Structure 1
Amino acid sequence: MQIIHCSIGMLCLIFLIAGCSSESPFDMAPVTGTVLYQGKPLPYGNINFRPLSGSPAFSRIDSNGTFTLSTYGDRDGAIVGKHEVLIKATDIDAGKPPRNNSGIEMPVLQSVIPKKYTSFATSELTVEVVAGNDNHFVFELEE
C-alpha cells in the first residue's frame, strides 16, 4: 500500500513539474523590428504584440528605435500567427518629468506619440508572425 501512495505521489510530482515548464504550447518565432516617428527612430517606449490566442509579446524600444520581442522568456519572440500591435512612449520614457496638476497625487503620463497607437483598439497596426521567416517589422508612426 505504501508503494502505491509513493508511486502516485511521484506521478503527481512529474505532472506538476511538466506543467510548470516555461515552454509555450504554441509555435514561436523570433521577432525584431524598428519603430519610426516623424521619420526618425523612436528612441524609447514599449511595443506589445497581442495574438488571437495565447500570451502577448513585449519589448522595450531601444535608443536606436529597435526592439526584440519576448513572450515566455528573454527574446524568445512571439506566437506564430496574426497579431494586433500597440506602441506606447510617454514623457517619462523620454526622460522628462510628468506634468503634475495641482491637487492630483499621481502625475498623469503624457503620450509623446499620437494616442491612437497606444491601444490595440485604435492603433490599426497588425502583423503576421510566420515560422521560419525573418520576422522583422518596421512601424512608421504618423500624426
Structure 2
Amino acid sequence: MARMLVLLPLLILVGCGESDGVKRLTVTGTVTFQGKPLTDGGISFEDPTTGYAAASQFQDGAFQVQLPVGEYKVMIEPTMVEVPSRDGNSPPSQRPSVDLPRKYFSAATTDLKAKVADDSTNFAFDLKK
C-alpha cells in the first residue's frame, strides 16, 4: 500500500505532459503602442498551416504563452470597457480601452508575425496607429 502511494504522484506528474506529444516552448515578449506598454489586453497566436492557436492575457505590456515551433500570425486586442448610454435608458456599449487600429484584432488583417524556434522565443510588438 505504501508503495502505491509513492507511485501515484509520479503517475500524476507523467500524465500532466503534452498529451499530443508536441514540444511547446515558453514564448515571452512585450506589446507596446506607439512606444508605450499596453496596460492590459490579450494576445493570440495562430499558425495558418497547422491551425494551432493559443492566447494569453498581458499586463503592463508583458506576455507569456506556450507554443510549438512554427510561424504564427499575431493578433492583439485591448481590454473592452463599458460606455454608458447617452440617454441613460439604453444599454451600455463597449469600446476598446485603447484606440488600436482594428487590423491587429483579426488573423485576416494583422501584419504581426512571430517565427517561434528553439533560438527565437522572445518577441517585441510595437503597434502603430
Taking structure 2 as the reference length, the TM-score comes to 0.73
Structure 1, unaligned runs of 5 or more? 1-17, 70-76
2:42 & 2:103 partners in 1: Cα distance?
14
- Cα offset, 1:101, TM superposition: 6.9
1:28 & 1:90 partners in 2: Cα distance?
27
**What amino acid is the match of 1:128?**
K
Name the structure with the higher strand share: 2
Per the alignment, in what secondary structure is the counterpart of residue 121 of structure 1?
coil
Taking structure 1 as the reference length, the TM-score comes to 0.66
Over 3 Å counting, the alpha-carbon distance change for 1:54 and 1:116 in structure 2 is closer
Larger radius of gyration: 1
**What amino acid is the match of 2:79?**
T
Over 3 Å counting, the alpha-carbon distance change for 1:100 and 1:78 in structure 2 is farther
Matches within 5 A, 1:107-122: 107-111=92-96, 112=98, 113-122=100-109
1:23 & 1:65 partners in 2: Cα distance?
31
- Cα offset, 1:28, TM superposition: 1.6
- Indicate the residue corresponding to 2:121 in structure 1: 135
Match of 1:87 among 56, 59, 76: 76
Structure 2, unaligned runs of 5 or more? 1-14
**Could you list the runs of 4 or more consecutive aligned residues of structure 1 that deviate by over 6 angstroms after TM superposition?**
none
Q: Provide the identity percentage.
A: 33
Name the structure with the higher helix share: 1
Q: How many residues align?
A: 111
- Indicate the residue corresponding to 2:22 in structure 1: 26
Per the alignment, in what secondary structure is the counterpart of residue 122 of structure 1?
coil
- Cα offset, 1:123, TM superposition: 1.1
Per the alignment, in what secondary structure is the counterpart of residue 67 of structure 1?
strand
